[in-house]
Structure 1
């Protein structure tokens, strides 16, 4: 399985705030992982703490695909 996760964090944020926001995004996403079958084609947008879309994840298929 090839799993892709892409998140854009605001470059204008101080490093500490970037780390905090990315950590929050990853914890929230990881906590909801059990809701997905994780089969090719699965995916979802990723939102920050202000509910703005900042990225996405998807299952692309076999590794190397």
Structure 2
């Protein structure tokens, strides 16, 4: 299995502070992953601090 995180970093709040926003996203989702079984097919949208969708994570077969 693979955990895939894709985030667009050149728009909105991500473009203004990419390292800060990506750090916030990783902290939030790192703490929230225990709510998921983490099986292939699991996925969720990822949002920046302005609550704009900037990507998604998903679990896929390797």
Q: Which TM-score applies when normalising by structure 1?
A: 0.82
Give structure 1 stretches of 5+ with no counterpart: none
Superposed counterparts of 1:14-53, under 5 Å: 17-53=17-53
* Structure 1 residues 14-63: Cα deviation after superposition (integer angstroms, max 9, x where no partner): xxx211111001100111010000001000000000000000011112x2
For the pair shown, the structure with the greater C-alpha radius of gyration is 1
Aligned to 1:8: 8
- Determine the C-alpha separation between the residues in 1 that align with 2:3 and 2:23: 19
Aligned Cα root-mean-square deviation (Å): 1.2
Question: What TM-score do you get using the length of structure 2 for normalisation?
Answer: 0.85
